[in-house]
Structure 1
């Protein structure tokens, strides 16, 4: 113990540096299997956030498929996903800069498949029989109206100006077009304003005529209050899908036009469909499904026998698995655990061997600097239990003075239907290894706890989420784990909105950080993209009929109640939460003479992808808290302009 230095919380020197966090770090995206080859997306901060499609051949050779400057990323719904498809070695992908589809034959340059107009494409599948792509199209060519969403087909090799054909139109949104094995039937999801897909959507199935156009179609599941997720055809032509009709997102199938449950369980087999191409299960064969399920009491990777509907857990050293793809030889998925922030994993079926193909972060950090996630349950308003992951300060080189308690950073996740997890997150360890306690809150509205828990936020955004974040902090103060005079809160996007509400309408927190957060719900109601343009109808109320609620829950209208310092981070190309949302609050804090800082990043959209900006944002937030709470960081940090300090 003689080598342990006593120093105030927040001032500890840590090996979890911002350089470590961004160096050689990659973000994994959509996975695919094509014969013996496997594919995935790597988002590389070191290349300006470019999305690269990577192929791993059967012999283990890795190849970057899309050359510089091509960036495989679609902007449909702005959040994207479903950025590429692959068939027999040829890759079809959406390019971020022009949003055109490109065909990429290995050894050749990408060739444009769609015209140079303002249309975006996502969620592609290859119709081998008819030599075409089927995908979602979002048409922005008419600037005087809302974007139009369609299901379309595009020839694999044809005239870029004549090939796009409309297969389905008339509803506000479409996703997940999928062909049955013999190519005779197509299924898809669709929904309309004001619903989001996790509120309610419909699953449709149609026969295709000889020309590949949709013939007779019928809705087989879903509705305004039933969420359907990931319809998929099994190798024997049976249609499977996930539905939350019994509170939990469980697996079902369509047999003789009747819906029957597959392995009912109080757990989630699905997720909120924020992006295209999400996959929580896949078929090893017609008789065996590989899936991930998660619930309050248990979670894991498992096989389901489709003949008996029995579930058999698979022992793996991971706490989550997403983007699952399988065939009769191998299973591919993205995994996290409390000791790893992200891995691309292959399960070889003949041998049963689990192989980590790629890690999002190769750095090895001594466990003496890693704080373990502790799942906590705490009481909140209306006699409800809420959930969070608590991280205590941890650094083997330091201890704090005996009479000092650590500052607490409350994290309010985005979505707001997303969920905090126990995976290793170096941006959390950045704080805990410097002497902060952190609590990552799964407030009411979070996924993973059933539909009823998700629906706690219906009409209550800005209230339930704030209550739960406040009560998580109070719970830790009451347990004597954190300093009640040094409570701070931060969040991005929807989490930024919760943060600003908590700072404005409550006096629990002494400082905060809003990362591209919503401050004026009225502006968000009409100055955002189509996908979320009516989202607030369910979270707040119809607009403009309930403008009173929008006014009441917008922090910008109540800055007279705000009395603590705030730092703001904003991407200047953000189309989801425009820069005006941050700038209005900054001006209000300036006028009140409250300490305020504002960092705006050129070239960034919703969420930061460039290494230098990720690094700057983390360091700037630490610098800001150091000035507010009066400690000296061990790191050398470029100063931040804090007005009114």
Structure 2
């Protein structure tokens, strides 16, 4: 940990402060977690390692506390289903089943450590599996790309664990998720939905019974009405089926009792988040009468127990403020967690939350808390008399102060999704900015999760308007409050956040600079070229294509570059299948023709989001360097410059 703070602060411009939170520190030994599983006395998790090119590894802590890596190089326990993957690993009795990213095959690792493939066709992808012990099968979601990528066929299949073949159990719908086997092995529950819905729009809960030959019979829809999102079905130990539904406006836990649908506990809170990736687990059963769960309310996450008989919710004390991947064996609870002052960790506790033990940290970096900006939840007025939300970070560095009267530049960060939400968990990438003297606003614009379905539905038909207005109004609000320099406002985001960034820079005259990380600029191209999972997403965000062709045109920044008047930097993976590189390259070329300052960094081997340490570092430093040139401050670090075209040219000439 860094030692004593200097007694006398140095005076330096905002943005010019020397910080120990460097890009090298951020990528040094940093990992991320994707899934937690419990098998007997053993605990498993999947960690993604930027230092190994983003390789995902299955880890295990056994009953004696020994931690070991189970999937060595070159295996990468990650799948491509829906392109976002998730749920790549299933475990039963010490045997590990996992999807391998390089060839899409489903593999098995036996108890002796031997690994072999169960499938052979690389155009088949597998995710979200469970083990059907009685019949010797892996049952999960398969995505068949043998005919087409955008028209891939999604089914629920059973893969024989001896490698002798596989059988389709359920087919005919556009999408499936959460296939879950009942405790007695006689039934299967699953979620399904159809285009143009996304899983947070409208899904259905179905069950089926296993016949003697292992096929599914008596397929029955048991829950799901129009505009109801159902997620995470789970069987209680007594065989009762539970699930999460937003029929009440909030994602609350429900169950089926004698054919009747019951709400277990009704709260103005969300007990899950959007199902972008497989493998979610926001609740589990300690026993038939007790649930351990997480939920979010007013931007903060909590851990709690629920008495399934009375519906009483009892908070579980924890030092953490973010939770996911909840699992329990009835005596211990294991989950992923984090807080504003601690990195994301794998934690195990007693079922009452006592005796917390960290099994694995996402970073071993020791950060002096004096350098950490603590997030503040803020609300601010936006269009149509409504209120929007955000998480605000003030500049913080114990060694520096700004010249009297100077206000800091502001970076508005726009999350992806767009139904995602900003997290308050410690992020050195955010602290990188604040410790150098740049304020940060993580905006939870209308459409974000955590504030109920009504708030989430604000974006329906309004993408490129509501999100842009909320981002702009958040920046203006902080400027009006005297928190930041209203003449040095930047906006940045990745994926859908990159689109909001480009739309804000094109259609609003609020920001002075911006950075798009693999962001959309041409919505019509995206509607025609993207993968199956998102191929109809914009029906709800913008309208069906081509019927709403004019809307797509009018909200595409690339069509209105004449309205651009400020510098923009672009960061793009050349292997991105979700937002292809031409989305950035079209915009860069338009800025070149206008003689506006523009920077373009393209990364070989990167897809939708950067996983390699060297590229994460280059993008972060590159964006900071870009703003330093635009806003006129001098970085304290020796940052490798990026090439900024037209930086000294007069815009428009």
1:599 equivalent among 593, 598, 601: 601
Give the Å deviation of 1:109: 3.2
Give per-residue Cα distances to partners, 1:82-108, cap 9 Å, x unaligned: 001001000000000000000111333
Q: Secondary structure at the match of 2:456?
A: helix
> Where does 1:461-540 land on structure 2 (aligned, <5 Å)?
461-540=463-542
Deviation larger for 456-465 or 347-356: 347-356
- Of 91, 97, 108, the residue aligned with 2:102 is 97
Task: Give the structure 1 partner of residue 117 of structure 2.
Answer: 112
| TM-superposition CA deviations, 1:318-347 (whole Å, max 9, x none) | 101100011112111000111112011101
Distance 1:527 1:298, change over 3 A: closer
Number of aligned residues = 642
Q: Is the contact between residue 515 and residue 568 of structure 1 (CA under 8 Å) also seen in structure 2?
A: yes
1:348 is displaced (CA, Å) by 2.7
**What is the TM-score normalised by the length of structure 1?**
0.98
1:76-225 alignment runs, 5 A limit: 76-143=81-148, 146-159=151-164, 163-225=165-227
Q: How far apart are 1:289 and its partner, in Å?
A: 0.5
Q: Give the conservation status (yes or no) of the 8 Å contact 1:329–1:350.
A: no
Structure 1 residues 297-446: aligned runs within 5 Å: 299-349=301-351, 352-446=354-448
Following the alignment from structure 2 to structure 1, what is the Cα–Cα distance between the partners of residues 572 and 149? 28
Where in structure 1 do 4 or more consecutive aligned residues deviate above 6 Å?
none
Cα distance, 1:352 vs. partner? 3.1
Deviations 1:550-589 (A, max 9, x none): 0000000000001100000001111111111111100110
Distance 1:119 1:92 in 2: 16
| Cα displacement (A) at 1:2 | 5.2
2:251 is paired with a residue of what secondary structure?
A: strand
The CA distance in 2 between the partners of 1:351 and 1:515, in whole Å, is: 39
Tell me if the contact between 2:48 and 2:56 (Cα under 8 Å) persists in the aligned partners: yes
Point out the more displaced range, 442-451 or 291-300.
Answer: 291-300
Gaps of 5+ in 2: 1-5, 648-653
Instruction: Name the CA distance, whole Å, in 2 between partners of 1:513 and 1:54.
Output: 36
SS of the residue corresponding to residue 637 of structure 2 reads coil
For residues 390 and 384 of structure 2, the distance between their equivalents in structure 1, rounded to whole angstroms, comes to 18
In structure 2, the residue matched to 1:630 is: 632
Counterpart for residue 18 of structure 1: 23
Q: Quick check: 2:149–2:531 contact (8 Å CA) kept in 1?
A: no
Q: Deviations over 1:147-175 (max 9, x none)?
A: 0000100001133xxx1101011111001
2:252 corresponding residue in structure 1: 250
Cα offsets for 1:484-518 (capped at 9, x unmatched): 11000000000000000000001100000000000
* CA–CA distance in structure 2, aligned partners of residues 235 and 496 of structure 1: 44
| Aligned counterpart, 2:650 | none
The two structures have a TM-score, normalised by structure 2, of 0.97
- Among residues 21, 29, 44, which one is paired with 2:34 in the alignment? 29
1:300 to partner: Cα distance: 1.3
Distance in 2 between the 1:14 and 1:297 partners? 29
Shift of 1:421: 2.2
- CA separation of 1:145/1:335 partners in 2, compared to 1, >3 Å: closer, same or farther? closer
Report how far residue 263 of structure 1 moved: 1.0
- Residue by residue over 1:504-550, the C-alpha shift from the partner in whole angstroms, topping out at 9 and shown as x without a partner, is 00110000000000000001101111000000000000100010000
- Partner-residue secondary structure (3-state), 1:125: strand
Aligned partner of 1:554 in structure 2 is 556
**Residues 434/508 of structure 1: CA separation in 2 closer, same or farther (3 Å cut):** same
Q: Distance in 2 between matches of 1:46 and 1:530?
A: 31
Partner residue, 2:280: 278
Stretch deviating more after TM superposition (296-305 or 169-178): 296-305
Structure 2 distance, partners of 1:367, 1:102, is 43
Tell me, what secondary structure is at the counterpart of 2:246? strand
Once residues 377 and 622 of structure 2 are traced to their aligned partners in structure 1, the CA distance between those partners, rounded to angstroms, is 29
- Counterpart check, 1:73 vs 2:73: no
Match of 1:57 in 2: 62
Matches within 5 A, 1:36-47: 36-47=41-52
For residues 151 and 460 of structure 2, what CA distance do their matches in structure 1 show?
A: 25
Equivalent pair of 2:448/2:456 in contact (CA under 8 Å)? yes
Secondary structure at 2:315's aligned position in 1? strand
| 8 Å CA contact 1:229, 1:271 repeated in 2 | no
Alignment of 1:607-622 (within 5 A): 607-622=609-624
Contact 1:470/1:508, CA 8 A, preserved across alignment: yes
- Following superposition, the deviation at residue 299 of structure 1 comes to 4.3
Unpaired segments of 5 or more residues in structure 1? none
Q: CA deviation at 1:368?
A: 1.5
Contact 1:205–1:219 at 8 Å: present in 2 too?
Answer: yes
- Secondary structure in 1 matching 2:646: coil
Tell me the CA shift for residue 425 of structure 1: 1.0
